[in-house]
Chain A
Amino acid sequence: MRRPPVRRLIALFAFLFFSLGGIVVRLSVLQVRDASAYEHMAMSQRLRVIALPAQRGSLLDDDRQPLAMSLDAKDVYADPKTVGDPAGTAAILAGPLKTSTPKLEALLSEDTSFVYLARHIDLGTAASIEKMNLPGIGFLDSSRRVYPDGSLAPQVLGFVGIDDNGYVNRGLNGLELQYQSRLAGRPGKRTIEIDPAGNLIPQGVNKDTPPVPGQDVVTTLDKELQFRAQAALEQAVRSNGAKGGSVIVMDPRSGDIVAMATYPWFNPNVFQDYHDEGVFQNLPITAVYEPGSVNKVVTAAAAIQDHAIPLTKRLLVPDTYRVSDGVFHDAESHPPTEMTLADIISQSSNIGTTMVAQRVGAPRLYHFLQRFGLSTKTGIAFPGEVDPILPTLPHWSGTSIATIAFGQGVAVTPLQMAAVYGAIANGGEWVQPRLVEGFVGPSGSYTSAPAPLRHRVISKRSDKILREILAYAVDNGTGTAAQIPGYWVAGKTGTALIPNPAGGYYGGRYMASFIGLVPASSPRLVIAVILDQPVTEFGGIASAPLFQSLARAAIARLGIPPGTRLPLPPHAIPYTPGH
C-alpha cells in the first residue's frame, strides 16, 4: 500500500490549520474585540428612544382652582416629499386645523422632508385626521396650555409658547415665565425595541424613565374678586372715556395680591392673535407713573412721625406759592385759607403739602420716601419689575421739595404706591407684596413661598393719625365718591399730570387714581385704582367710584365687617358729614 506523501499531508494540515486559524482569529475579532461595537450598532438599529414630556404644573388661585393647566395634545407634521397631492391634502386639512388652504398648500409644497402644519391641536382633532390616513402626514406627542377662565388676569399669569431657542412650552411672560423652572418639571424617556417594520418587539427592551411633573404654583389671586375687579375696571374705563386702567387689590397684612388687572387685556389662549405687545404688559409692576396727590400721604406721614407740624396747627394756605424758581398752584383757585394737616390732605392742597414738606425738610422727606419703598423695586417675584425714578437727595433741585411732596417729579409703579398704603393699613409696617403663596409638588406636598420682607416705617400712633386723616378725606374731602353707605373707608385721590418725554407735561392729560383702605379702622384690603387719561380727569370723579364699586364687591366676597368709625382729626374747614 502506498503511503501518501508526507509533504502533501503536512501541506494539507498546514492549509487547514491556517484556514481554521484565520477563522478563529476573525471570529475573535468579531466576537471579542468588536463585539461591543457591533452589539451597539445592532441595538441602535432596534432601539428607539421616545421623549416623554413632563406635565407642566398648573397655576392655581388661592382656593386651588386652576387658572392655567396643561392638556395632552398633538403636533401635526408633514413630509412634503411623500405627500402626493399638496393641494388636495391642504384642502382636506384646512378645516380641522383652522387655517387657510393656500397657507397649508405652501407648507406642503416646500422642498424639505419635515414641516409642522399645526402645533398643540387637541386629541380629538388629531384622531379625526389620523383616521383619514393621508400620506405624508404624521403626529407627535405634545401638550397645550389652557387658561380655562380666558381673559382672567392674563398679564399676571402670562402665557406659554416657543422661545427664541426653539424650546416649546416655555413660559414667555408673567408668572409662567417667572416660575418656568418649577412649572416645567423634568422630561423622561421611553426606550423600546422595534423590528424593521417598526413594530414593538414584545419581549425586547421596554424601559421607562418616567418624567417628573412640574410643580403647581399657588397664587394669591382670588378668582372671583379678580373677575369682579376686571368687570368694574372695564366699565370704569368705558364710562370715563379713559385709554386704559389698572387695579390692585392687596391684603396689607400678608402682602398678598388678591387681584391685579390692567385694561385692555388679552386672551392668553390665543395670545398669538394679538399684535400689540403692549397689551401683554402687567402695568402695575412693569411701568412707572407720576403718582400725583396719592403721594401726599408720605409727606403727611413724615410730618406726623417727626412732629414737624402740630395736628392742630392752622396754616394759612394760598392758592399760589413760589418755591425756588418755580410757582405752584392748587388745582382750584381759592382765597388764602386756614388749614390743618388733615384739611391739607383731605382737600389735596398742593400748596399746603409743599408748606408741610418745607417744615419736614428735604432729607427727612427723602428718608421717608425710601422707607416707604419708593426708591427701590418692591422685590415682588415677577419678571420685568421696573425701578422707580426718585432723584437721590443730592440731585434734588430747589423745587423738588414741592413737586415730590405732592407726587410729581417722581415716578413709581402702581404696586409701590399700593405698598405705601399697605404700610399705612398695616399699622405702619411695610410688607413686601407677593403674588405667589406656595408650591404643590408632584406628590401633593405643599411648600410655602418665602415670607415677605417687612420693616417698620412709622409708629403705630402716627399710623393711626394718618388713617384718621385719610378717613376724613373720604368723609369730607376729595374722596367722597368713594364712600360706601354704612361702611368706613379711608383713602386718597390723585390727579397727576403726564410727563412729556420732550420736556414738561402734557396739558390736559391726567392719570386719575384713588387708593383706599377698607375698613378704615382695621384695614383688611388696600385697593388701588388708576385710570389713564379719563375725560373726567380727576381722581375723585373718575377713580373713586371705581374704588367704591370694587370695595363693595370685595366686602361682600370676603365678608369684611365695617369696623368702627375713626375719630375726626383736628380740622379748620367746616365738616359736612358724608353719611
Chain B
Amino acid sequence: MSAPAARVAQRAPQKKPTVPERKRPAPGPARRRSEATPSRTRPTASRGAKRVAVPRSTVVFVVITGALVVAIMLGLVALNALLAQSSFRIGDLQTRIGQLTQSYEQRQLQAAQVASPGHLAKVAAHLGLVTPQSGIIILTPPPASTAHSSGKAVGGTP
C-alpha cells in the first residue's frame, strides 16, 4: 500500500463514530466536562466502542457566545452613542457659556455706561437739577464728646 492510501485508511474511522450514543445524562457542568473531554482529545479508531459523543452543548455555547458578542457590540454602540452625545452636549454647553459670557459682558457695559458721571449728569439735568456754581463751606460745630476731632466739610449752598 502506498503511503497516501495508508493515511486514508488510518483516518477513516475518525470520520464517523460507529458506536451508538449513550443515553444523555442529566445536564450538569461537571458531567458535561467529563464527557466532552475524551471526545475532543482521544478520537482514535482503536477505542471506537468506548468513544464519547460529540459535544452536546455546542448550540448552547454558540447561542451564549453569540449573545455575548451581540451584547458587547450593542454595549459598544451604546457607549459610542453616549460619548458622541456627551460631545454634542459639551459643545452645546460651551456655546451656552459663550452666550452667557457675552450677555454678562453686555450687562457690565450697560451698568458702566449708566453709572458713568456723564450719564448721571445728563439725567440729573433732565430732571431739573443744577450743579452749584457758588456757595460757602459750612462747618457743623463738633459735639462736646468729639471736641478733639476735626470738622468736616458738609458742602455748600447753591
Which residues from chain B contact A206 at a C-beta distance below 8 Å?
Answer: 87
Complex: A148 Cα to B102 Cα, angstroms: 16
Q: Is the interface of B mostly helix, strand, loop or mixed?
A: helix
Which of B118, B133, B150 is close to A150, meaning CB atoms less than 8 Å apart? B118
Q: Determine which of B80, B116, B121, B137 lies in contact with A486 in the assembled complex, contact meaning CB atoms within 8 Å.
A: B137
Interface residue stretch chosen among A63-71, A298-306, A408-416 = A63-71
CB-CB contacts of A137-161 with B at 8 A, as 1s and 0s?
0000000001011111000000000
Chain A nearest CB, measured from B93 CB (Å): 13
Measured CA separation A14–B13 after assembly (Å)? 40
Complex Cα distance, B118 from A226, in Å, reads 10
Contact between B105 and A72 (Cβ–Cβ < 8 Å)? yes
The answer to whether A72 and B116 touch across the interface, beta carbons within 8 angstroms, is no
Residues of A484-515 whose CB lies within 8 A of B: 484-487
Known: A227-B117, A561-B150. A123 touches B109 (CB 8 A): no
CB neighbours (8 Å) of A202 from chain B are 83-84, 87-88
Q: In the complex, which residues of chain B have a beta carbon less than 8 angstroms from the beta carbon of A71?
A: 102, 105-106, 109
Judged by a CB distance under 8 angstroms, whether A392 is at the interface is no
Does A223 interact with chain B (Cβ within 8 Å)?
A: yes
Cβ-defined contact, B153 with A148, below 8 A: no
**Distance between Cα atoms of A227 and B83 in the complex (Å):** 56
A486 near B139 (CB under 8 angstroms)?
A: yes
Give 1 or 0 for each of A46-70: 1 = CB within 8 Å of chain B CB: 0000000000000000000110010
Question: Which of B88, B101, B118, B131 interacts with A149 by CB under 8 Å?
Answer: B118
CB pair B137–A555 under 8 Å, yes or no, is: yes
Cα separation A335 to B54 with both chains bound (whole Å): 143
Question: CB distance B153 to A556 under 8 Å?
Answer: yes
Residues of A close to B59: CB separation below 8 A = none
Digit string of B71-115 for contact with A (CB within 8 Å is 1, else 0)?
A: 000000000100110011001000000100110011011001101
**A227-B135 Cα distance, complex, nearest whole Å:** 20
The CB with the most chain A CB atoms within 10 A, among B84, B88, B113, B137, is that of B137
Nearest residue, chain B, Cβ from A143: B105
The answer, yes or no, to whether A203 is at the interface (CB within 8 Å) is: yes
**A203 and B87 in contact (CB under 8 A), knowing A72-B102, A556-B156?**
yes
* Alpha-carbon gap, A226 to B98, bound state (A): 35
**B105 surroundings in chain A (CB, below 8 A):** 69, 71-72
The CA-CA distance from A6 to B2 in the complex, in Å, is: 22
Residues of A within 8 A of B102 (CB): 71-72, 123
B138 an interface residue at 8 Å Cβ cutoff? yes
Bound CA span A202–B81, Å: 10
Q: Which residues of B contact A227 (CB under 8 A)?
A: 116-118, 121
Contacts of A224 in B (CB 8 A): 117
Bound complex: CA of A149 vs CA of B112, how far in Å? 8
Quick check: B115 and A485 within 8 Å, CB to CB?
A: no
Q: How far is the CA of A202 from the CA of B109 in the complex (A)?
A: 36
Per-residue interface assignment for chain B, residues 133 to 158, with 1 indicating a CB less than 8 Å from any chain A CB and 0 otherwise: 10111110000000000111101100
Q: How far is the CA of A485 from the CA of B84 in the complex (A)?
A: 77
**Within A362-388, which residues are at the interface with B (CB < 8 Å)?**
none
What residue of chain B has the Cβ atom nearest to residue A206's Cβ?
A: B87
CB atoms of B109 and A484 under 8 A apart: no
| Given A485-B137, A559-B152, A148:B109 Cβ within 8 A | yes
Task: Tell me whether A486 and B112 are in contact (CB under 8 A).
Answer: no
**A200 CB-CB contact with B under 8 Å:** yes
Segment 535-579 of A: residues with Cβ below 8 Å from B:
549, 552, 555-556, 559-563
Are B152 and A561 closer than 8 Å at their CB atoms? yes
Smallest CB–CB gap between A336 and chain B, Å? 39
When distances are taken between beta carbons in the complex, the residues of chain B under 8 Å from A65 are 112, 115
Which single member of B88, B101, B109, B155 contacts A556 (CB below 8 Å)? B155
Residue tally, chain B, CB below 8 Å to A: 34
- Residues of B near A200 (CB, < 8 A) are 87, 91
- Contact check, A555 vs B117: say whether CB atoms are below 8 A apart: no
Task: Kindly provide the distance from the CB of A239 to the nearest chain B CB, expressed in whole angstroms.
Answer: 12
Inter-subunit contact B151/A561 (CB<8 Å): yes
B5 to chain A, nearest CB (A): 14
Partner of B135, one of A66, A69, A72, A552: A552
| Pick from B80, B153, B156: contact of A559, CB under 8 Å | B153
Closest chain-A Cβ to B134's Cβ sits at a distance in Å of 8
Q: Given the complex of chains A and B, what is the CA–CA distance between A255 and B132 in angstroms?
A: 29
A203 touches B83 (CB 8 A): yes
Give A485 to B118 CA distance when docked, in angstroms.
28
A552's nearest neighbour on chain B, judged by CB, is B156
CA of A69 to CA of B113, assembled, Å: 11
Q: A203-B87, A552-B135 are in contact. Are A152 and B117 (CB under 8 A)?
A: yes
In the complex, the chain A residue whose C-beta lies closest to that of B83 is A203
Q: Are A69 and B108 in contact (CB under 8 A)?
A: yes
CB neighbours (8 Å) of B117 from chain A are 149, 152, 223-224, 226-228
- The smallest C-beta distance from A523 to any residue of chain B, in angstroms, reads 14
On chain B, the residues within 8 Å of A549 by CB distance are: 133
A69 and B88 in contact, given A224-B117, A556-B153, A562-B151 (Cβ under 8 angstroms): no
Give the distance in Å from the alpha carbon of A240 to the alpha carbon of B98 in the complex: 52
Q: Is B116 a contact partner of A152 (Cβ separation < 8 A)? A: yes
For the complex formed, measure the closest distance between the CB of A147 and the CB atoms of chain B, giving whole angstroms: 9
Q: Which residues of B contact A560 (CB under 8 A)?
A: 153
**Interface pair A486/B83, CB less than 8 Å apart:** no
Q: How far is the CA of A152 from the CA of B120 in the complex (A)?
A: 13
Contacts of A148 in B (CB 8 A): 109, 112-113, 116
Q: A residues within 8 A CB of B155?
A: 556
A139 to chain B: closest CB distance in Å?
14
Can you name the residue of chain A whose Cβ is closest to the Cβ of B136? A485
User: What distance in Å separates the Cβ of A219 from its nearest Cβ neighbour in chain B?
Assistant: 15
B118 to A152, Cβ gap below 8 A? Answer: yes
With a cutoff of 8 Å between Cβ atoms, the chain A residues found around residue B116 in the complex are 148-150, 152, 223, 227
User: Apart from A224-B117, A227-B116, what are 20 other A-B pairs with CB-CB below 8 Å?
Assistant: A69-B108, A69-B109, A71-B102, A72-B98, A146-B109, A148-B116, A149-B112, A149-B117, A152-B117, A202-B87, A203-B80, A231-B121, A485-B135, A485-B136, A549-B133, A555-B137, A556-B153, A559-B152, A559-B153, A563-B150
